[in-house]
Amino acid sequence: MLDPYADDSHRWLEDLDGPDAVRWVEERNTETLSAPAGDDFRQTRDEIREILDSKDRIPVPSRRGDGFYYDFWRDADHPRGLWRRTTPEEFRRDEPDWDVLLDLDALNAAEGENWTWSYVSVLRPGYDRCLISLSRGGADAVVVREFDLRTRSFVADGFTLPEAKSDVSWIDADHLYVATDFGPGSMTSSGYPRVVKCWRRGTPLADAAFIYEGEPDDVAVRVSHDPDVGYERDFVGRYIDFYRSEQFLRRPSGELVRIDVPEDADCIVHREWLLIRLRSPWLTFPAGALLAAEFEPYLAGRRDLTVLFEPDAHTSLSSWWWTRHHLLLVTMTDVRSRVHVLTPDSPEWRREPLPGPAEFDHLGIVDTEPDTDDSYLISAEGFLRPRTLSLGRVGGETAVLKRQPAFFDTAGMAVHQHFAVSDDGTRVPYFVVGPDTGGADTGGADTGGPALLTGYGGFEIARTPAYDGVTGRGWLARGGTYVVANIRGGGEYGPAWHRAALREKRVRAFEDFAAVARDLVARGITTPDRLGIRGGSNGGLLMGVMLTRYPELFGAVVASVPLLDMRRYTKLLAGRSWIAEYGDPDDEADWAYLREFSPYQNVRPGRPYPPVLFITSTRDDRVHPGHARKMMARLREHGYDASYYENVEGGHGAAADNEQAATIAALILEFLRRKLT
């Protein structure tokens, strides 16, 4: 008997730039772009572009210890963007005087390239040089080039790395730690560096001194230098899988001293302190706890650990940030955020809360300057409340720096939080944004309007309230309801919430999402034929499972840069790095559960699949576009209503500039409106 899970007749679509595959993509794109061609699509696209290009958006800067606020900015005049900086005094003004350091559009014109911004590493403490990483079309692979902040130009004969998935760290002005593609055998099976070297200025990269080498099946290795005066240190990290690592202090002699913490714990060293955040129980401490110890005594064998945070059934640790003398903790209680200031003291650290946000708004630390002072940038935003950016100082006042303008009318709208009950009895929170009903249910009356439900449910990533002008103007302001599901697999309730849907327990995340969909209908918020769903990346896998496993619950599905073929995902690009999350399909025991939900292998004829739209990017070098291509082809093979759009650029974000982002967003919103109304 033919095994339906073994059929992969569309594998030719994995050939990224093969002539037949390219022709197939062009044909699908033409179909999809012609479907919404009309005034509604153009109006939606133009309105979204207006939001994305608005000069009234507030910049969200970073600070690097040299007294400047740095920002990367895109608008209609600068589609690829400007890297710029200004002083704190200028930033407070309505229209700051920005000093443009690099104009990517001008650079592209001069070099005939399609560079997009990736990230930057500034030399400390000199702050006069930096390493700029540029991506072709938004891919994860980057070219690294040294840049002079005084002359605002790339350094002739400076440090330069060819295109690769590299990791670099300044040691001093003349030395770098470099993890990159050094040739055969230097990359892991996940496509990341496994060899780190020390590169001296003026010498060939090939002559760089060997520092450390990981194993071929590790995810990656990394070496970093901490230049904090009086605490200069070097650290080596071997990342065994997505959640397990070995961390070492590298002595000046080159000796590696293992930092004795659990492999699945996060550990961070700041000046004299070591922080350990647990993913699983250790000693007498529960998973999700944050512990502190003095670093040097700990390294010497002492285990005087202080509990800085301990989770409970409703509260988890979201993030933590050091200032010069204090630690800021962001926690969530039923996905509602709070911030506390902790100060090292004996016998216990002192703790003080910062003022809380409005009921469903989310507080987040944007930036601190741990080398220099106790200030912090903090943001507050909600589904219906634009972002406010403030500057605070521990022990001092907090002053509002910028307020984001409103991009849609929220009159008559409200935010409510509900809990659905999943198949195993777990209560799953979700937010509903839309017409204000006073929080009352309608008793399941068949009066619900169109609703858009989204979720993620993976990698311990939490979905928190956020202001989205595109969804607001393109969906909410046109009468739709927007819903965010906080399903298991995410980080809303810490490591336990994540582990509950890990590997063979993945189905719990799918059951949670289906439970939210049913609860929306039971409350009369919408009906199955008017309920659309949307997710990207791991959330795209979620969408594929909803399509093939729960088709009767939904009226339309949108999957962006999705992971869909769980039989071959480890063979495609960075797929092997996610084995700790999903399992290994080459392991018979793992494939036994993966095959039960892998969307590509579970397409069947004669099922009531709702219409589906796939969005991806040719230049996505993280999740291969072959996932979406093959799924589209298989659905069409069985006669299902499936649409497809593959952007040439964009990487894993699917768009490299605001024009591309506006086109994709308009395609999605118009698809949902056509199918759900």
Express each pLDDT in 35-61 by its tens digit: 877 788 999 999 999 999 999 999 999
Q: What is the mean pLDDT of residues 607-615?
A: 98
How many angstroms separate the CA atoms of 638 and 650, rounded? 30
State residue 447's pLDDT score: 55
State residue 446's pLDDT score: 41
Q: How confident is the model at residue 334 (pLDDT cuts 50, 70, 90)?
A: very high
State residue 226's pLDDT score: 96
State residue 1's pLDDT score: 34
State residue 347's pLDDT score: 81
Express each pLDDT in 285-298 by its tens digit: 999 999 999 999 99
State residue 367's pLDDT score: 96
**What is the residue type of 623?**
V
Q: Which two tokens stand for residue 558?
A: 């949108």
Q: What is the mean pLDDT of residues 100-118?
A: 97
How many angstroms separate the CA atoms of 517 and 540, rounded? 17
380 pLDDT more than 70: yes
Q: How confident is the model at residue 443 (pLDDT cuts 50, 70, 90)?
A: very low
CA-closest candidate to residue 74, choices 49, 39, 96: 49
CA-closest candidate to residue 247, choices 283, 495, 257: 257
H or E stretch at 236: strand 233-239
Q: How confident is the model at residue 439 (pLDDT cuts 50, 70, 90)?
A: low
How many angstroms separate the CA atoms of 293 and 335, rounded? 29
* Residue partners of 255: CB distance under 8 A and separation at least 6: none
* Residue partners of 421: CB distance under 8 A and separation at least 6: 427, 428, 515, 519
Q: How confident is the model at residue 3 (pLDDT cuts 50, 70, 90)?
A: low
**pTM here?**
0.96
* Residues paired with 82 in a beta bridge: 73, 103
Q: How confident is the model at residue 438 (pLDDT cuts 50, 70, 90)?
A: low
442 pLDDT more than 60: no
Q: Which two tokens stand for residue 463?
A: 């979905």
Q: What is the mean pLDDT of residues 471-479?
A: 97
Express each pLDDT in 509-562 by its tens digit: 999 999 999 999 999 999 999 999 999 999 999 999 999 999 999 999 999 999
Catalytic residues: 537, 652
Task: Give me the count of residues in the chain.
Answer: 677
Residue 183 in 3-state DSSP?
A: coil
* Residues paired with 391 in a beta bridge: 377, 399
Q: Dihedral of CA 353/356/360/362: which sign?
A: negative
Higher-scoring residue by pLDDT: 663, 345? 663
* Residue partners of 266: CB distance under 8 A and separation at least 6: 275, 276, 277, 279
16, with CB counted inside 10 A (0-12, 13-18, 19+), is middle
Please state, as a whole number, how many other Cβ atoms lie within 10 Å of the Cβ of residue 172: 14
Q: How confident is the model at residue 571 (pLDDT cuts 50, 70, 90)?
A: very high
CA-closest candidate to residue 222, choices 253, 255, 246: 246
Q: How confident is the model at residue 150 (pLDDT cuts 50, 70, 90)?
A: very high
State residue 4's pLDDT score: 56
The count of C-alpha atoms lying within 13 angstroms of the C-alpha of 577, restricted to the half-sphere facing its C-beta, is 18
- Domain boundaries along the sequence of the chain: 21-50+407-676
CATH match of 21-50+407-676 with 2.40.110.10: no
Higher-scoring residue by pLDDT: 319, 446? 319
In this structure, are residues 274 and 308 in contact, taking their beta carbons and an 8 Å threshold? no
User: How big is the chain by its Cα radius of gyration, in Å?
Assistant: 25
Express each pLDDT in 6-29 by its tens digit: 679 999 999 999 999 999 999 999
Q: How confident is the model at residue 393 (pLDDT cuts 50, 70, 90)?
A: very high
**Percent of the chain whose pLDDT exceeds 90:** 94
Phi and psi torsions of 191, nearest 5°: 90, 15
State residue 626's pLDDT score: 98
CA-closest candidate to residue 134, choices 105, 100, 99: 105
